Amino acid sequence: MKNILVDEKDHPYSGTKYAWVRARALGGKTNIWGRLALRLSDYDFKAKTHDGYGDDWPISYADIEPYYDKVDRYLGISGVKENLPHLPDSLFQRPNKLSFGEVRLRESLKKMGRVLTPYRAGVTTDGLKHNKYRSKCYGRGACDRRPGGCDIHAAFDSPTGLIYPAMDTGHLTIRTNSIAHEVLVDPNTGKARGVGFVDSGTRKSYEAKGKVVIVAASTLESARLLLLSRSPQHPNGIGNSSGHVGHNFCEHVMGPGVTGLVKDMIGKPPTLDDGRPGGFYIPRFRNLKDRQPGFVRGYGFEGSGGFSIFPGNAFGTQGFGAQFKKDVRDHAGAFIGLGGFGEVLARYENYMDLDPEEKDAWGIPVLRFHYQFGDNEKKMCEDMAVAGREMLEQAGIEVVGTDDKMLTEGWSIHELGTARMGSDPKTSVLNQFQQSHDVKNLFVVDGSSHVSASCQNPTWTIMALAWRSCEYLAGEFKKGNL
């Protein structure tokens, strides 16, 4: 983990408070991600049409569905079909089993018209014949205690899932320890001609030349790179004639959650409940057919219950000696917990720009944050805590703890929206193929392009959109349009 996450002394940032988790490593944050792999739906892509807030995406679910399918087949995903219009099903491999308490909650939620589904994990549970770097999941236990990822790579990570297979084609060169600080511009055409970068070790400067430049440094770093790329042709930063680069930032808000005790499980013999990549997911149920008085959009819950190799309840159990051990063992498998992830609304006034003074360890200007949660997020979080309690109580599960505080901005590590796509070049940075409106041989294929955050985790959508954009790019390239 230490070698994956950045040292903030070398990589500072400034402005409003923000928990910015960054991985400067081959494969980025996918080396340590939680693997919850969800699709967005037209409740997300056409959110403005649904509730009037913000902007619709320039695509609909039908446009991206074939690419979600390709990602599912290529990388593997486990789960159960639920036929929900707001959380479309994937092409699932074998699902994880739910624990006793989770099944109880699922059955109870059905009566409330809500769904608890096994964790939709970006993990291959049946194996992938086309990938020699990844094994199928053997459910060996303590999945969430493997910082740095699943060592047999059943869980998707970019190196074994994408990068090594791409290298095997012989058409890819990787240069690690390279810090891009500028997209270079041809002064005659204004088009991108390559990237300026510095070697993080030797500090020597280099240029990489290219007919097309594809930026995918993660949402905030990509915005920083565009803003850093100022030239006479692009005085506000490349691709930024709209002034929207760095703006419309959105993400997920988290914090509220509940812990419950499934009393029937106290004193029961242990079962292997953490031999799986995740517990469960409760999809959004607010503002679908109903209209909540306090907030628009929705939230989902991630959670799990049952035994784990290390009983987390040991920390909170009173006493010592033999009685303490018995109490911990008796209760170890009886807990169930869930925490909410809610949509943060995209707002122009939530933005990042370059700090005019502060620089990182390589002398590159850092990002300055101007961002905070608004009233919609606060009201949504109040509802999360209440709804979480209500669901456990309805299932006859005793609530033993409630968190109602919002965590700091950035905590969800699902940053999105700093170079959003749209049909109007005056109010968006990219077109529906993540191609710059201003510079046609410049693409930005990460979460920057998302128009709204949805409440579903973004990584599967980032990859499906990137696949779609790359197909378009290849077509345009062949036609000589770039």
Ligand X SMILES: Cc1cc2nc3c(=O)[nH]c(=O)nc-3n(C[C@H](O)[C@H](O)[C@H](O)COP(=O)(O)OP(=O)(O)OC[C@H]3O[C@@H](n4cnc5c(N)ncnc54)[C@H](O)[C@@H]3O)c2cc1C
Contact residues: ligand X, CB under 6 A: 21, 23-25, 28-30, 32-36, 178-180, 216-218, 221, 225, 413-414, 446-447, 457-459, 462
Interacting residue with ligand SF4 among 38, 47, 123, 380 (CB under 6 A): 123
Cβ proximity to ligand SF4: between 68 and 156 the closer is 156
CA dihedral over 132, 137, 138, 142, signed as positive or negative = positive
Q: What does each C-alpha distance from 208 to 192, 197, 435 come to in angstroms? A: 11, 8, 20
User: With CB cut-offs between 5 and 8 Å by kind, which of ligand X, ligand SF4, none does residue 436 bind?
Assistant: none
151-174: burial string, b at 16+ Cβ within 10 Å, e else: eebbbbbbbbbbbbbeeeeeeeee
Distances (CA, A) of 400 to 151, 257, 337, 389: 35, 11, 10, 10
Interacting partner of 399 out of ligand SF4, ligand X, none (Cβ under 5 to 8 A depending on kind): none
Task: Name the binder of 128 from ligand SF4, ligand X, none, CB < 5-8 A by kind.
Answer: none
The CA distance from 246 to 285, in Å, is 31
Neighbouring C-beta atoms of residue 95, cutoff 10 Å: 18
Cβ–Cβ < 8 Å for 90, 119 = no
Q: How far is the CB of 118 from ligand SF4 (least distance, A)?
A: 13
Is residue 154 a contact residue for ligand SF4 (CB under 6 A)? yes
Q: Which is nearer to ligand SF4, 260 or 278 (CB)?
A: 278
Nearer CB in complex with ligand X: 34/190: 34
Given ligand X, ligand SF4, none, residue 259, with its beta carbon under 5 to 8 Å by kind, binds none
For position 152 contacting ligand SF4 by CB under 6 A, the verdict is yes
User: Minimal CA–CA distance to 440: which of 413, 416, 472?
Assistant: 472
The strand pairing partners of 179, in sequence order, are 198
Q: Which is nearer to ligand X, 24 or 114 (CB)?
A: 24
Q: Is 310 in the site for ligand SF4 (CB under 6 A)?
A: no
Q: Kindly tell me which of 146 and 405 has the beta carbon lying closer to ligand X.
A: 146
* Of 476, 465, 457, residue with least CA distance to 420: 465
Contacted entry of ligand X, ligand SF4, none for residue 28, CB cut-off 5 to 8 Å set by kind = ligand X
CA–CA dist 225, 238 (Å, integer): 9
Contacts of 230 (CB under 8 A, 6+ apart): 236, 237, 238
Nearer to ligand SF4, 275 or 422 (CB): 275
**How near is the Cβ of 96 to ligand SF4 at its closest, in Å?**
9
Instruction: Name the minimum Å distance from CB 152 to ligand SF4.
Output: 5
Residues 264-293 that bind ligand SF4 (CB under 6 A): 275-277
From CA 162, how far away is CA 172, in angstroms rounded?
A: 11
Choose among ligand SF4, ligand X, none what residue 152 binds, the Cβ cut-off being 5 to 8 Å by kind.
ligand SF4
Strands 192-199 and 335-343: unpaired
Burial grade of 86 (CB within 10 A; 0-12, 13-18, 19 or more): buried
Figure out which of the listed residues 17, 81, 146, 211 binds ligand SF4, where binding follows CB under 6 A.
146
Applying CB under 6 A, does 145 fall inside the site for ligand SF4?
A: no
Asked if 415 and 406 count as a contact pair (C-beta separation under 8 A), the reply is: no
Q: Please tell me whether residue 155 binds ligand SF4 under the rule CB under 6 A.
A: yes
Q: Which of 64, 98, 128, 143 binds ligand SF4 (CB under 6 A)?
A: 143
Nearer to ligand X, 155 or 384 (CB): 155
Task: Identify the residue whose tokens are 């850092």.
Answer: 366
Is 348 a residue that touches ligand SF4 (CB under 6 A)?
A: no
Nearest residue (CB) to ligand X, 342 versus 447: 447
Q: Pick between residue 29 and residue 286 the one whose CB is nearest to ligand SF4.
A: 29
Contact between 324 and ligand SF4 per CB under 6 A: no
Residue 227 binding: pick among ligand X, ligand SF4, none (C-beta 5-8 Å cut-off by kind) = none
| 98 interacts with ligand SF4 by CB under 6 A | no
How far is Cα 227 from Cα 239, in angstroms, rounded to an integer?
Answer: 9
Q: For residues 21 and 84, which CB has a smaller minimum distance to ligand X in the complex?
A: 21
Q: Can you tell me the distance from the alpha carbon of 62 to that of 69, in angstroms, rounded to the nearest whole number?
A: 11
Smallest distance, ligand X to C-beta of residue 403, A? 18
254 touches ligand SF4 (CB under 6 A) = no
Using rule CB under 6 A, residue 140 touches ligand SF4? yes
- Beta-carbon contacts of 466 under 8 Å, excluding residues fewer than 6 positions away, are 216, 434, 445, 446
Tell the residue number behind the tokens 């004193």, with chain if given: 267
Please give the residue ranges that form the binding site for ligand SF4 (CB under 6 A): 123, 137-140, 143, 146, 150, 152, 154-155, 275-277
